[in-house]
Amino acid sequence: MVELTTRSPGGVTLPVVEAPRPEDALPKRVTSHASGGRDLWSDPMEEAPGDPEASVIELLHEVLDPELPISLVDLGLIYGVEFDEGRVRVDLTFTATACPCMEFIREDVKDRLTRERWVEAVEIREVWNPPWTRERITRRGREQLRTMGVGV
């Protein structure tokens, strides 16, 4: 487990609750979107990395927030990464309890990671402890936002 931040003891994750899907519901993925910096994603790695957790974090540096063009890592949303025999678990939070981009972010993280041949499955755990604040944006994230005229 790679912890990107210091979590208070007993940091608790939240199960993702999906709406019930009746038999005749629309197919999954009825929408697609171009956010998350997909056009900038690098090609899949040739070989499985020696330190998969560090590589996962590198890959998440390529996934941009759908609203602010900085990475999820620089925005401070990624709380931890764990890799175990092809299965990746990403602990992440959102900037707001009703963040309108939750689904996009989950989809982008899964899509980017599962491009890699050494990643078989991605589990995303929603974490709210400690809560996200603007202080969690990295120095690099702040600089990127500043060059775009967004003050933090």
Partner 1 sequence: MSGVEAGLPGMDDAVRTAFRRLLLSLADSKRILGIRYSDWLLGAPSIEAGIAASSMAQDEWGHARLLYASLKDFGDDPVALEHDRQAAEYASMEALDAPFDDWARVIAGAVVVDGALAVALRAVAEGGYEPIEGRISKMLGEEAFHRSLAEAWFRRLAGSEEGARRLKGAVEEWLAPTLRVLAPDDEGHRVLAAAGLTLPAAELRARLAERVSPLLELLSVEMPEPLGLDDWDEGRGRGPGHPAEEAVERARGDLNRALFVE
Binding residues vs partner 1 (CB under 8 A): 8, 10-12, 14-15, 17-22, 24-26, 28-31, 96-100, 103, 127-133
Task: Return the H-helix or E-strand segment holding 90.
Answer: strand 87-92
Centroid of chain to Cα 129 = 16
Q: Please state, in angstroms and rounded to a whole number, the distance separating the CA atoms of residues 77 and 79.
A: 6
| Distance of closest approach, residue 75 Cβ to partner 1, in angstroms | 15
Closer CB to partner 1, 6 or 8, in the complex = 8
Task: Return the H-helix or E-strand segment holding 141.
Answer: helix 139-147
| Distance of closest approach, residue 8 Cβ to partner 1, in angstroms | 8
| Distance of closest approach, residue 15 Cβ to partner 1, in angstroms | 6
Closer CB to partner 1, 34 or 98, in the complex = 98
| Distance of closest approach, residue 1 Cβ to partner 1, in angstroms | 13
| Distance of closest approach, residue 135 Cβ to partner 1, in angstroms | 12
Closer CB to partner 1, 6 or 97, in the complex = 97
Q: Is the dihedral of CA 6, 114, 116, 34 positive or negative?
A: negative
Neighbours of 95 (CB within 10 A): 19
Q: Please state, in angstroms and rounded to a whole number, the distance separating the CA atoms of residues 64 and 108.
A: 8
Closer CB to partner 1, 28 or 139, in the complex = 28
Q: Whole-angstrom distance between the N-terminal and C-terminal Cα of the chain?
A: 30
Closer CB to partner 1, 26 or 34, in the complex = 26
Q: Please state, in angstroms and rounded to a whole number, the distance separating the CA atoms of residues 6 and 17.
A: 26
